[in-house]
């Protein structure tokens, strides 16, 4: 059953239940009135019970103690006796006034209860009066002994009123159920439409309900879920594109050395009259290309391990100042050999950090190799170490040829080289900086590059301080 019809059925059921409750309530009121009437003081001191031919012998004590009053009115409509509560404004009434009193004494809404009895022998009326605390007057009178000519008309009017009441109640029930269901069905329809679009691949689908109730909370949850799915799909597409690009890059970088190896190996195999010098030259080319292919595969394997969730490093508490001084000592020979100048700014005080020494060695080795491969003679290299707030900062900087800005933002991706021609003869495997970025991230740090063409490179390594 649709939700809209379910609401209508529920309200019809509530209509039936409320009608039954109303009927039961009327019956209960009648029963309660009967029970209460038996306990009311006025019913214990009726004019009939108090009647006595001798006016002076009428027992009024109980009435007076209960806050009531007793009056005796003779045939000339004179109040000849009065005790307690008296609602007559004068001692003698006219015939019209007394008649009016008799008629209205039982009227609805009168705040007094009058019980009147006539003594035919002595010709006087005994009136017992009590103040009414609270009374609900509902009564239907029918004469069973004498049929009225108006009975059919009266019953018809009552039935018509009752039917009209039921119609109005039914209409209001339907209208109210529709209004209530609209407040629920419309948001649900919007949610269903957005969910359907999401299912069909429209990951930009969002819901705009602008509500402050539970549907508003559901809107927030749905939109956050859709945004997360959109981000994950985008990341998945990006990952797939990166994977395809990685395969192409690997194929490209392996093809050249393998082609050289196969070509020179075939040449050595086919030419039986090679001289010793020629054989040495060919095998040297085979060895160098084998080494390049092996380096590429080794770096690729290392990068693959670092991207695994199981990759861990083994940290040791190290004085970074002392560590860098030792490492720099091993780099000086390399810098001197290629004609680089250098300066270092390492503080004397101890600056401790937890690092994996073997992996951090690889970081600086890769940075040095990149700097040496891509920069000309006379390049200056500077390495500095300092503390900044709760971080340790290492700056590895050169004033060489730099990297174009459009390339620098992707420099930490695999197979990205400063040499746009992707000539592996002039550089490494293209995985060095990607490995560096993974190692620094595993230490809880970050590495960034500031550079531009002909402005040198500045690698900034930030590590947590202990």
Query: Final residue of a domain: which of 131, 162, 182?
Result: 131
pLDDT tens digits, one per residue of 129-142: 998 765 555 556 66
At 7, the pLDDT band (50, 70, 90 cuts) reads low
Please report the pLDDT score of residue 293 as a whole number: 84
Residue 203 lies in a domain: no
pLDDT tens digits, one per residue of 79-122: 999 999 999 989 999 999 999 998 888 877 788 889 999 999 99
Res. 420: pLDDT tops 80 = no
Q: Tell me: do 328 and 439 sit in the same domain.
A: yes
Query: Mean pLDDT, to the nearest integer, of 68-82?
Result: 93
pTM: 0.50
As for how many domains the chain has, the answer is 3
Please report the pLDDT score of residue 2 as a whole number: 62
At 47, which helix (H) or strand (E)? helix 47-50
Residue found by looking up tokens 């009967």 in the block: 34
Query: Final residue of a domain: which of 73, 102, 131?
Result: 131
Residue 343 lies in a domain: yes
Residue 198 lies in a domain: no
Please report the pLDDT score of residue 44 as a whole number: 81
What mean pLDDT is reported for the chain? 84
Please report the pLDDT score of residue 234 as a whole number: 86
Q: Tell me: do 457 and 322 sit in the same domain.
A: yes
DSSP-derived secondary structure letter, 382: E
Res. 404: pLDDT tops 70 = yes
Q: Tell me: do 296 and 359 sit in the same domain.
A: no
pLDDT top residue among 457 and 295: 457
Percentage of residues in the chain having pLDDT higher than 70: 89
Please report the pLDDT score of residue 268 as a whole number: 87
Please report the pLDDT score of residue 126 as a whole number: 95
Please report the pLDDT score of residue 357 as a whole number: 94
Residue found by looking up tokens 């029963």 in the block: 31
Q: Are 354 and 317 in contact (CB under 8 A)?
A: yes
- Euclidean distance between CA atoms 141 and 162, whole angstroms: 18
- Euclidean distance between CA atoms 296 and 290, whole angstroms: 10
pLDDT tens digits, one per residue of 172-200: 777 777 777 777 778 888 888 888 888 88
Residue found by looking up tokens 């027992």 in the block: 59
Q: Tell me: do 123 and 43 sit in the same domain.
A: yes
Quote the domain boundaries for residue 27.
3-131
Read off the CATH number of the domain in which 299 is found.
Answer: 1.10.287.130
């Amino acid at each position: 059953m649709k939700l809209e019809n379910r609401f209508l059925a529920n309200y019809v059921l509530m209509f039936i239940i409320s009608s039954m409750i109303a009927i039961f309530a009327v019956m209960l009121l009648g029963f309660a009135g009967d029970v209460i009437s038996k306990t009311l003081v006025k019913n214990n001191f009726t004019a009939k019970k108090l009647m006595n031919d001798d006016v002076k012998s009428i027992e009024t004590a109980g009435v007076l103690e209960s806050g009531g009053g007793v009056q005796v009115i003779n045939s000339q409509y004179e109040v000849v006796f009065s005790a307690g509560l008296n609602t007559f404004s004068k001692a003698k009434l006219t015939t019209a006034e007394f008649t009016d009193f008799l008629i209205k004494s039982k009227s609805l809404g009168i705040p007094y209860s009058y019980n009147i009895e006539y003594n035919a022998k002595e010709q006087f009326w005994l009136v017992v009066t009590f103040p009414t605390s609270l009374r609900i007057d509902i009564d239907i009178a029918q004469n069973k002994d004498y049929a009225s000519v108006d009975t059919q008309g009266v019953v018809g009017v009552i039935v018509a009123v009752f039917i009209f009441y039921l119609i109005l109640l039914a209409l209001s029930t339907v209208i109210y159920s529709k209004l209530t269901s609209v407040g629920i069905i419309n948001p649900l329809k919007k949610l269903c439409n957005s969910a359907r679009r999401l299912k069909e691949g429209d990951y930009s689908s969002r819901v705009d309900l602008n509500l402050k109730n539970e549907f508003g909370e559901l809107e927030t949850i749905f939109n956050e879920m859709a945004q997360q799915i959109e981000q994950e799909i985008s990341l998945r597409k990006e990952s797939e594109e990166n994977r395809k690009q990685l395969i192409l890059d690997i194929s490209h970088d392996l093809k050249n050395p393998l082609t050289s190896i196969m070509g020179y190996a075939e040449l050595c195999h086919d030419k039986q009259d090679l001289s010793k010098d020629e054989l040495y030259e060919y095998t040297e080319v085979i060895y160098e290309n084998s080494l390049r292919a092996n380096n590429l595969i080794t770096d690729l394997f290392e990068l693959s391990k670092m991207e695994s969730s199981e990759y861990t490093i083994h940290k040791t508490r190290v004085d970074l100042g002392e560590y860098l001084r030792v490492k720099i000592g091993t780099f000086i020979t390399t810098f001197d050999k290629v004609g680089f100048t250098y300066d270092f700014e390492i503080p004397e005080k101890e600056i401790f950090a937890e690092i994996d020494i073997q992996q951090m060695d690889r970081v600086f080795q890769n940075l040095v190799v990149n700097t040496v491969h891509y920069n000309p003679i006379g390049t200056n290299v500077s390495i500095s170490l300092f503390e900044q707030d709760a971080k340790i900062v290492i700056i590895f900087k050169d004033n060489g040829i730099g990297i174009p800005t459009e390339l620098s933002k992707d420099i930490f991706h695999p197979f990205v080289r400063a040499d746009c021609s992707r000539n592996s003869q002039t550089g490494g495997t293209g995985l060095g900086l990607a490995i560096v970025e993974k190692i620094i991230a595993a230490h809880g740090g970050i590495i960034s590059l500031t550079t531009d063409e002909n402005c040198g490179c500045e690698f900034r390594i930030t590590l947590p301080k202990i």
